[in-house]
Amino acid sequence: MKYKKTKYFLLGLIIFLINTSIVAQSDLSSPYSRFGLGDIYTGSPNTILKGMGGISNAMSDHALLNPNNPASYASIDSLSLLFDAGFYIKTASFSTSNLTENGSNASFDYASVGLSATKRWKLGLGIMPYTNREYNVITEHNGGEDIGSYNVAFQGDGGLSRVFFANGVKITKDLSVGVTASYIFGTLSDNTAIYYPDSTFFLNGKRSIDMRISDFKLDYGVIYKLPIKKYNITIGLTYSQGTKIASKRDIFIRNMFKGFDNQVENPIDTLKYIEDEKVNIKVPGGFGAGISIDKGEGWMIGADFNWAGWKGFTMNGVNDSLQNSWNVAIGGSYKPKSTSISKYYKKITYRAGFHYDQTYYNIYGTSINKYGLTLGIGLPVPRSLTSFNVALEFGSMGTIKNELVKETYFNISVSMSIYDRWFIKKKYQ
């Protein structure tokens, strides 16, 4: 009876956390997120893999949920159910040549489930963020004697989420393939306003665009395991299929003046209003390759390379000045002795990694790059394969050159990985 209650509790927890993740998505984004679809989430959402620099292409284990390569699901134990959910805390500092601002936030990160359909066919289901947009930038201008000084304000928010259904099939003992169907959805909001604080001849103006996105995309993966003497070598390949995403947007343009407190916006008249305008978005494809080496019990090291053709991104035929993106990641882990009974510290997994990214942002001819150093730890629950995982990341993105913005950030990610024997009834209480 206790066994059944545990199962129902886990199912309820899964449903609750997935629903929570849908409504709780928020993030602290860079000012560059007003371009393209916003800040793209790269690397792995899984906290275990975050602690190793985000490597994922060649990561496959019976107790690991790896959404980045659907072929990895084929390694799930046939008699088990896996559940993984995490959240994170982010602090960031945004700097220009003469100004610095700080911010922080906490957010639910992801939730995923893995289980067996047949002995060779395994399934995965989950939700995670896909992009995030949050920026607020004001630029000052001088229009000369006729116009005087004026300010242009750019503000935006929103983001896209990804619900996925993954399938991993073991073709042979060492070869697995997989495919993931994802549903991308969310809203991106952008506002541009122009203010003439010193002029009595020009009206302030504001343009608001709310774009609603929803469509499907496919991703594929292959994993091949090659045991050589005492070592296990795993090679992973991924391919993300380019797609055209259907979306609609509302456009609202009006004149306005600000109230006595200089904060309240008072509309004067509407210049333009368009509702449910169709927008064609072309999202490019990409590929990834990775390798990992381990010696069974003890240590593991791995490396990834990923590339995406964002130079081919268009929104109603407009490129938005994006560039192709790529990233490299290196990471590893060490577990002294998982079977140790008397010494708990020997069952703890220690992780570390590094990643370097060329993002798809290219501003004024300057490529916006990103790097991060990561540390992680896995704390097992006694007499169980369930664990609590923590990942720390310190990194930087952008530059203060050419009047741009540099972000320095620190992330703390925490997750709970539940491993349960779903189909075996225990003979003891």
Minimum mean pLDDT range among 106-110, 269-273, 359-363: 269-273
Task: State what percent of residues in the chain have pLDDT above 70.
Answer: 85
Q: What's the longest Cα–Cα distance across the chain?
A: 88
> How far, CA to CA in Å, does 350 sit from each of 234, 300, 336, 375, 381?
20, 10, 9, 8, 15
pLDDT band at 23 (very low <50, low <70, confident <90, very high): very low
Alpha-helical (H) ranges within 248-392 are: none
Give the separation between CA 164 and CA 125, rounded to whole angstroms: 6
Give the separation between CA 124 and CA 139, rounded to whole angstroms: 46
Picking from 68, 69, 107, the residue whose alpha carbon sits closest to that of residue 86 is: 107
Q: Write out pLDDT tens, residues 86-135.
A: 988 999 999 988 888 888 888 888 999 999 999 999 999 999 999 999 98
Dihedrals phi, psi of 75, to nearest 5 degrees: -85, -5
Q: Write out pLDDT tens, residues 137-149.
A: 888 877 666 667 7
pLDDT band at 268 (very low <50, low <70, confident <90, very high): low
Q: Write out pLDDT tens, residues 415-426.
A: 999 887 665 555
Percent helix, strand and coil across the chain, each to the nearest 5: 10, 60, 30
Domain ranges of the chain: 2-420
How many Cα neighbours within 13 Å face the side chain of 367? 12
Q: Which residue has the tokens 């409504």?
A: 23
CATH architecture of 2-420: Beta Barrel (2.40)
Query: At a CB cut-off of 8 Å and minimum separation 6, what does 228 contact?
Result: none
Give the separation between CA 416 and CA 343, rounded to whole angstroms: 22
Give the separation between CA 126 and CA 115, rounded to whole angstroms: 12
260, pLDDT greater than 60: no
21, pLDDT greater than 70: no
Picking from 146, 68, 95, 85, the residue whose alpha carbon sits closest to that of residue 305 is: 68
Query: At a CB cut-off of 8 Å and minimum separation 6, what does 426 contact?
Result: 3
Minimum mean pLDDT range among 75-79, 119-123, 148-152, 307-311: 148-152
Do the Cβ atoms of 189 and 210 come closer than 8 Å? Answer: yes
15, pLDDT greater than 60: no
Confidence (pLDDT) at 1 = 43
Confidence (pLDDT) at 6 = 47
Q: Which amino acid is at 329?
A: A
Which residues are bridge partners to 220 per DSSP? Answer: 179, 239
Picking from 250, 240, 318, the residue whose alpha carbon sits closest to that of residue 281 is: 318
